[in-house]
């Protein structure tokens, strides 16, 4: 599967785009109202987009989503439900990308990895950014 949505009890936890995903036209997988848009840009050779900028618009964001795109190596992303139960293990390799939308997550590096990481800012320091959680053992 080249695109996967991970949902549980009607809540979207993550979206994964595999390196082999192919679209004929630009396709976004996140709902339009999502505070973080995730998709693939695709245009035929010769396409030219005129110079432009994006209009400033005040946004209020209460969730913090994070995206990884693996450049090299192999990493497992563990997703947990709000109750701390393991929901899914997702193995990512070079070219795969994931947006973490909801819930608790952890990573395990299987092969030395490097990822591009993108999330909303500003960064307020680890004491204001991360909440460490004791996950339930299966």
**Tally of structural domains, the chain:** 1
Phi-psi region at 11: left, alpha or beta (left = phi > 0; alpha = psi -120 to 50) = beta
| Domain assignment of residue 8, yes or no | yes
Hey, what are 91's tokens? 């193995």
Range of the domain at 106: 3-47+63-120
| Domain assignment of residue 101, yes or no | yes
Hey, what are 64's tokens? 């913090």
Q: What is the pTM of this model?
A: 0.84
| Domain assignment of residue 81, yes or no | yes
| Domain assignment of residue 52, yes or no | no
| Domain assignment of residue 82, yes or no | yes
Handedness of CA 61, 39, 98, 4 (dihedral sign): positive
| Domain assignment of residue 76, yes or no | yes
Can you give the pLDDT of all 138 residues of the chain as single tens digits? 588 999 999 999 999 999 999 999 999 988 888 888 888 999 999 999 999 988 998 888 878 889 999 999 999 999 998 888 999 999 999 999 999 999 899 999 999 999 999 988 777 787 777 777 787 765
| Domain assignment of residue 70, yes or no | yes
| Domain assignment of residue 113, yes or no | yes
Q: What is the CATH number of the domain that holds 101?
A: 2.60.120
């Amino acid at each position: 599967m080249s695109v996967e949505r991970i949902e549980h009890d009607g809540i979207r936890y993550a979206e994964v785009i595999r390196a082999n995903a192919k679209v004929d036209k630009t396709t976004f997988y996140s709902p339009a109202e999502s505070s973080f848009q995730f998709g693939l840009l695709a245009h035929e050779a010769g396409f030219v987009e005129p110079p432009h900028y994006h209009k400033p618009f005040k946004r209020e964001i209460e969730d913090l989503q994070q995206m990884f795109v693996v450049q090299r190596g192999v990493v497992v992303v563990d997703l947990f439900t709000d109750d701390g139960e393991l929901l899914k293990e997702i193995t990512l390799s070079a070219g795969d990308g994931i947006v973490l939308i909801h819930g608790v997550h952890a990573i395990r590096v299987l092969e030395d990895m490097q990822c591009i990481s993108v999330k909303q800012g500003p960064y307020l320091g680890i004491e204001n950014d991360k909440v460490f959680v004791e996950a339930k053992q299966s």
